[in-house]
Structure 1
Amino acid sequence: MKTDLVVKHIVSWLKDYAQNSKTQGFVIGVSGGIDSAVTSTLCAKTGLRTLCLEMPIHQDPSQVTRAQKHIQDLKKQFANVSSLKVDLTHMFEEFKAALPKVPESEQKSLSLANTRARFRMSTLYYFAALHGYLVAGTGNKVEDFGVGFYTKYGDGGVDLSPIADLMKSEVYEIAAYLGITEEIQKAAPTDGLFGDSRTDEDQLGASYDELEWAMKQDENPIKTDLDVRQHQVLEIYRNLNRKNQHKMNAIPVCEIPDVMRD
């Protein structure tokens, strides 16, 4: 990948989109992960106002530290970058307290994890509306179009997606080129939605490198003599892709036949 050209292309695309839509800049949720670090840096490089939001909900201290360090680095480099911290923990706990009591289960845990993501989306859009900004998404190609690894109307609720045509490995290439802190580059990817130490790989059952391979293999098979692990990964990818089509496809609309309108 011609990393320098890709970076210039994305920055130019972001700037053109914002100017054509007559918006003032961008707001991004910064989590301490690689995707949000790259996205926020690309937005900052446009020269347009870039608001980085921290939105912890029982967040792991290491994630908070990485996010804060990245934001401080950005503010030192770019005068157009500002930041705010909105602690959503109390609101999340109040929400849980208002819900009917149900037994603990994996489904309940997942539902609450998705709720965290949706609280953050609402917060991003509050500030976007307040300042006339665009909400910049942080999803990469494997997550957004391969396995659907995001929350519908949560981190999937954005105005534009600057890195959604980049594989995870390409995001890392850009991170290195941009000088993103080593601590972020080396951290195990995690959505941080469960309040524990589980990583993306723990949830997905495969690494991003494996899923990238599976995505390419599924779209354009180039090898027939797959080993056991490759068969497993391909099945993991296909199951996730199939299960999450409801996120990646347009919302179904019940169309009324013209004959019924006469």
Structure 2
Amino acid sequence: MEDKKINSEKIVNHIVHWLKTYAENAKVKGFVVGISGGIDSALVSTLCAKTGLPTLCVEMPIHQAASQVSRGLEHIQFLKNTYKNVTNAIADLTDAFDLMSAALPKVDDLPVLNLTLANTRARLRMTTLYYFAGINNFLVAGTGNKVEDFGVGFFTKYGDGGVDLSPIADLMKSEVRTLATYLGITQNIIKAKPTDGLFGDDRSDEDQLGANYDELEFAMKAFEAGKNETDFNGRELEVFKIYKRLHTINQHKMNPIPVCEISDEVKF
């Protein structure tokens, strides 16, 4: 799918203004962003840097692939060379993750165990980002895009979903690519196969989801337009079914936490 022709300059200015205004109204000093070596965190950290407010980029490896670490470092260096308000920190969480894993009971169902431990990695990183946010009076900037956050729910609840604000959650992945190119983010990151990096191997987001982001973007638009399975066949039908299933089972991530309301008739 060809990237959409959008007004990159106008969108960037809008997001940067939104970020800066929100931070000023919240009376905080700046932003902290977890750097993964992927395009979403690269875009968000660049947008935060463009506000002129202090922006702290944090790498949090946990048995991380060398390629992800090197892409993250490359991007941080790009930011530091371009923006004087950018600093970075490395919090190697490998030992903390291993210690926590060893202290928890194991189960025989390996797929369930591996997925649970993958989500545990994301939650350790969230805790770490809020540590840095707390000691610096910063906001944690989320890196989820629209398909992840509101389409298929491809994020960890209280992990990478635990943030203070989400600057790119109304952008499709194709739009993220367009803005990243406009802002001069390295092609090494833009062209890298998307991965959450939570399993300690080279599996991609597409491997986990069963479809790539361009396909899911198509399915999301079709679903929102009221299309149904009878409107498609072949690969399009397969992708539409994948999207519909994930969109349904992950509603618990995308909807507010349910509150059990107790009326006076029940209380008294």
C-alpha displacement at 1:199, in angstroms? Answer: 0.2
Match of 1:44 in 2: 49
Does the CA contact (< 8 Å) of 2:8 and 2:182 recur in 1?
A: yes
Which one of the candidate residues 137, 157, 163 is aligned to 1:158? 163
C-alpha displacement at 1:73, in angstroms? Answer: 0.7
Which one of the candidate residues 239, 243, 265 is aligned to 1:233? 239
Confirm whether residue 205 of structure 1 aligns to residue 218 of structure 2: no
Take 2:253 and 2:242, find their aligned partners in 1: how far apart are those partners?
17
C-alpha displacement at 1:99, in angstroms? Answer: 1.4
Segments of structure 1 that go 5 or more residues without pairing to the other structure are none
Take 1:222 and 1:108, find their aligned partners in 2: how far apart are those partners?
36
Which one of the candidate residues 225, 243, 256 is aligned to 2:262? 256
Q: Aligned pairs, how many? A: 262
Which one of the candidate residues 184, 189, 199 is aligned to 1:184? 189
C-alpha displacement at 1:260, in angstroms? Answer: 2.5
Shift in CA distance, 23/194, structure 1 to aligned 2, threshold 3 Å: same
Match of 1:148 in 2: 153
Does the CA contact (< 8 Å) of 2:58 and 2:90 recur in 1?
A: yes
Does the CA contact (< 8 Å) of 2:106 and 2:113 recur in 1?
A: no
C-alpha displacement at 1:227, in angstroms? Answer: 2.5
Match of 1:8 in 2: 13
Confirm whether residue 120 of structure 1 aligns to residue 125 of structure 2: yes
Confirm whether residue 82 of structure 1 aligns to residue 82 of structure 2: no
C-alpha displacement at 1:188, in angstroms? Answer: 0.1
AA partner of residue 263 (structure 2): P
Match of 1:174 in 2: 179
C-alpha displacement at 1:100, in angstroms? Answer: 1.9
C-alpha displacement at 1:258, in angstroms? Answer: 1.6
Q: Structure 1 length normalisation: TM-score?
A: 0.98
Paired residue secondary structure (1:130): helix
Paired residue secondary structure (2:177): helix
AA partner of residue 165 (structure 1): D
Paired residue secondary structure (2:114): helix
Take 1:173 and 1:243, find their aligned partners in 2: how far apart are those partners?
30
Match of 1:71 in 2: 76
Query: What value does the CA root-mean-square deviation take over the aligned residues?
Result: 1.1
For structure 1, which segment, 248-257 or 100-109, has the greater mean C-alpha deviation from structure 2 after superposition?
100-109
AA partner of residue 127 (structure 1): F
Segments of structure 2 that go 5 or more residues without pairing to the other structure are 1-5
Does the CA contact (< 8 Å) of 2:38 and 2:194 recur in 1?
A: yes
AA partner of residue 190 (structure 1): T
How do 1:80-119 residues align onto structure 2 when only pairs under 5 Å count?
A: 80-103=85-108, 105-119=110-124
Paired residue secondary structure (1:134): strand
Confirm whether residue 28 of structure 1 aligns to residue 30 of structure 2: no
* Percent identity (aligned): 64
Take 1:221 and 1:259, find their aligned partners in 2: how far apart are those partners?
40
AA partner of residue 245 (structure 2): N
AA partner of residue 247 (structure 1): K
Take 1:195 and 1:125, find their aligned partners in 2: how far apart are those partners?
23
AA partner of residue 208 (structure 2): Q
C-alpha displacement at 1:221, in angstroms? Answer: 4.2
AA partner of residue 2 (structure 1): N
C-alpha displacement at 1:257, in angstroms? Answer: 1.3
Confirm whether residue 131 of structure 1 aligns to residue 136 of structure 2: yes
1:183-208 deviation digits (Å, cap 9, x = unpaired): 00110000000001100000000010
Shift in CA distance, 222/238, structure 1 to aligned 2, threshold 3 Å: closer
Paired residue secondary structure (1:198): coil
AA partner of residue 259 (structure 1): E
1:82-124 deviation digits (Å, cap 9, x = unpaired): 0000000000000111112332510000000000000000000
AA partner of residue 90 (structure 1): D
